Amino acid sequence: MKIGIVGLGYVGLVTAIVLSNEGNQTICVDIDENKLSKLNSGVPTLYEPGLADMLKENTEKMTFTKDYSLLKDCEAIFVAVPTPNKDGRINLEYVYSAVKSLKNHAPGVPVAVKSTVIPGTASEIYKETGVRVVSNPEFLREGSAINDTVHPERIVLGGDQAESVSVFKKIWKFTNAPVIETTNENAELIKYASNAFLATKISFINEMANLCERIPGCDVDIIAKGMGYDKRIAPYFLKAGLGFGGSCFPKDTQAIVSYSESLDAKLSLVDSAIKVNERRVGHNLDRVESKFGKINGKKVCVLGAAFKDNTDDIRSSKSYEIITESRSRGAEVVVYDPVITESPGLKMIEDPKKCIEESDIVMIATEWPSFNGLDFSSAKVVIDFRGILDTGKANMVVGKSE
Ligand code: UGA
């Protein structure tokens, strides 16, 4: 098929590459010239395992352009533009503007919205533009984005235009995933409910970690393990640490809470999950200072800059929060990351050994499994904020009493 993709962020680019790899031709539209020129020369615009090779293998099936008119003879188009928050509420201007452009340049082509949008957006789009879209929310995770797109756990398709829905059903058939066909509103809310639930699960285990820290003999990882064998609970997203960051959970939880408030049905549980998450960095640094003394004047080595492992994405990264907060408490901070070598405002060190050796305190801020293989023998103090090191390697671990 010939498929259009508008917006080449994480979701758009991964979707385009995977669909091309499945034998489709893709026309990929973005407004960012710098991004387009990189992609046209086969250079990926983000770090994601397997992405660079897959892009290289499929370049002849992919067109990167800012010209919407190239989409006119596509059989289907995905909209995957950002939906950032403005004053805590979702800003849909990029979605509206993309759909308006599609109406002008590719009239009649079935459109699916992959961007995360609040319930009612598809019907607002129809009111604003006259275009009836299919809602096809995305559930991929950064760091395992290709695998998640090829093997999703479900495909959600919302919309009342059976013909359009069936086009997108055909596109995703190769995944063999169960398909939920429903209303636009249900599809839109399934996405928020899923992210809000996972974020709440993380905040739950993080509060449990705080409790474990007060109970000698308790270890939050063992509590999570014991809970996770129960199939109703499941072991996933029960890793205590610095809390959730990234471009999705912080933004989406905030957007759904303010949306729920506007309907006088406030999601107070999700609101609490946000508040618990906001206290993670302060709580953990307080704990370090109460055991090892003020960090003022000390040299801190932070391991990991991204919001999670296997990505170079620093958006709403808890590492950045640790760095900023440590600096404001008077520490000098140097940073090592396995894939990020330069980052605005950060003093990056390329050799982790040097970073560890030269510091007073080492803080693990991102859950890269490879950090467990580092040599900490020269370190004075090691803090495992992500609970990833083998027992005995750290002087303080999240969710364990001292
Ligand atoms: C998340 C969802 O998991 C995806 O299903 C969804 O498609 C995506 O948001 C989105 O809305 O686009 P992502 O943000 O890429 O994916 O990353 P996650 O793996 O969910 O991690 C989010 C944050 O939670 C990270 O900061 C991670 O460190 C933290 N986390 C995750 C924990 O602290 N503990 C855990 O047990 C799991």
User: pLDDT tens digit string along 222-281?
Assistant: 999 999 999 999 999 999 999 999 999 999 999 999 999 999 999 999 999 999 999 999
pTM for the structure as a whole: 0.96
| CB 326 within 8 Å of CB 257 | no
CA–CA distances in Å: residue 31 to residues 9, 13, 41: 11, 13, 17
Instruction: Say which DSSP state 390 is in.
Output: P
pLDDT (0 to 100) of residue 63: 97
Q: How far is the CA of 74 from the centre of ligand 1 (A)?
A: 32
The residues assigned a catalytic role are 248
Closest CA to 126 of 111, 139, 115: 111
For ligand 1, is residue 249 a contact (CB within 6 Å)? yes
CB of 307 closer than 6 angstroms to any ligand 1 atom: yes
pLDDT at res. 265: 98
Structure tokens at 381: 């103090």
pLDDT higher than threshold 90 for residue 87: no
The verdict on the CB of residue 386 being under 6 Å from ligand 1 is: no
**Amino acid found at 366:** T
CB-count exposure of residue 2 (10 Å: 0-12, 13-18, 19+): middle
Residue 29, helix vs strand vs coil: strand
Nearest CA to ligand 1 atom 17: 141
DSSP 231-269: TTT-STT---SS---SSSHHHHHHHHHHHHHHTT---HH
Distance 249 CA to ligand 1 centre (A): 7
Confidence grade of residue 400 (pLDDT, cut at 50, 70, 90): very high
Q: Name which residue sits closest to atom 29 of ligand 1, judged by CA.
A: 244
Checking phi first, is residue 200 left (phi over 0); if not, alpha (psi -120 to 50) or beta? Answer: alpha
Tokens of 186: 């249900």
Ligand 1 centre distance from Cα of residue 139 (Å): 10
- Ligand 1 centroid vs 250 CA: distance in angstroms? 10
Q: What is the mean pLDDT of residues 356-370?
A: 97
Nearest Cα residue to 192 out of 132, 138, 266: 138
Compute how many other C-beta atoms are within 10 angstroms of the C-beta atom of residue 307: 28
Q: Which residues contact 253 (CB under 8 A, 6 or more apart)?
A: 195, 196, 199, 270, 273, 274
Measured by CA distance, the residue closest to atom 20 of ligand 1 is 141
Confidence of residue 402 (pLDDT cuts 50, 70, 90): confident
C-alpha 221 to ligand 1 mean position (Å): 18
Q: How far apart are CA 2 and CA 25, in angstroms?
A: 5
| pLDDT score for 105 | 97
Q: Is the CB of 195 under 6 A from ligand 1?
A: yes
How far apart (Å, rounded) are the C-alpha atoms in residues 318 and 233?
26
DSSP state of 77: E
8 Å CB contact between 7 and 30:
yes
Determine if ligand 1 sits within 6 Å of the CB of residue 239.
yes
Atom of ligand 1 nearest to the CA of 139: 7
| The pLDDT of residue 396 | 97
Beta strands in 177-223 (DSSP E): 179-182
| Ligand 1 mutation target, pool 90, 115, 140, most atoms within 8 A of CB | 140
Which residue, judged by its Cα, is nearest atom 24 of ligand 1? 244
Locus of tokens 């599809």: 187
Give nearest CA residue, ligand 1 atom 23. Answer: 244
> How high is the pLDDT of residue 39?
97
Best mutation site among 90, 115, 138, 142 for ligand 1, i.e. most ligand atoms within 8 A of its Cβ? 142
pLDDT value, residue 88: 81
Q: Where do we find the tokens 């805590």?
A: 88
* pLDDT over 90 at 357, yes or no: yes
Kindly report, residue by residue over 93-115, the tens digit of the pLDDT: 999 999 999 999 999 999 999 99
Retrieve residue 397's tokens. Answer: 């671990």
Which among 308, 384, 398 is the best mutation to test ligand 1's pocket, defined by most ligand atoms within 8 Å of the CB?
308
Sign for the pseudo-dihedral over CA of 265, 270, 274, 276: positive
Long-range contacts of 288-291 (CB under 8 A, 24+ apart): 288/361, 288/363, 288/383, 288/396, 289/329, 291/396, 291/402
Does ligand 1 come within 6 angstroms of the Cβ of 82? Answer: no
Ligand 1 pocket, residue 244 CB under 6 Å: yes
**By percentage, how much of the chain surpasses pLDDT 90?**
98
- Report whether pLDDT(369) > 90: yes
pLDDT in tens, 147-185: 999 999 999 999 999 999 999 999 999 999 999 999 999
